[in-house]
Amino acid sequence: MLDSRAMDLEFLMVPGAPPPPPTAPYSHAVRAGEYLFVTGQLGADPKTGDRLVAGGIVEQTHQVMRNLQTVLAGAGTSLERAVFARVYLVNFQDYAAMNGVYVTYFKPGRLPGRTCVGVTGLALGGLVEIDLVVKP
């Protein structure tokens, strides 16, 4: 069993990132030892946190990636340090469009490991959510 006292933990809330709704308590990221675990981000407008950006999968994926960049910058790191991503898609027919946006946020040949899962629904009616594991 892991003793949490043996590991330094830092719970981060990042200014400028979408605020969690009252019904979903979480930290934007948690630094645990050598890794940063970034909570899944939706295509939420960071000014409101409770509304998705207008448009479909392309616009939401861009906003998800911008939200992740904001959280990572607030934690002193960047997408370049991402080692693993989990992508949740409501409509798997959006897979190609989401990928078309996703890859533009990484340098060629420097993509993190990834799992993509089809889900029946996401908070706020989102189409895509992405979380990350980062080695800052």
Domain boundaries, the chain: 4-134
Query: How far is it, in rounded angstroms, from Cα 130 to Cα 116?
Result: 9
Based on C-alpha coordinates, what's the Rg of the chain?
15
Give exposure, 90-114, as e/b (b: 16+ Cβ within 10 Å). Answer: beeebeebbeebbeebeeeeeebee
**pLDDT of 4:** 52
CB burial of residue 3 (10 Å; 0-12, 13-18, 19+)? exposed
Distances in Å between the alpha carbon of 38 and those of 43, 54, 94, 95?
15, 24, 23, 22
Pick the closest to residue 127 from 107, 106, 98 (CA basis). Answer: 98
Break the chain down into helix, strand, coil percent, rounded to 5. Answer: 30, 30, 40
**pLDDT of 1:** 45
pLDDT one-digit tens code per residue, 60-96: 999 999 999 999 999 999 999 999 999 999 999 999 9
pTM, full prediction: 0.92
**Residue 81 in tokens:** 């340090």
Which residues, in sequence order, are CB contacts of 47 under 8 Å at separation 6+?
Answer: none
Residues of the chain with pLDDT under 50: 1
Fold of 4-134: 60s Ribosomal Protein L30; Chain: A; (3.30.1330)
**pLDDT of 5:** 57
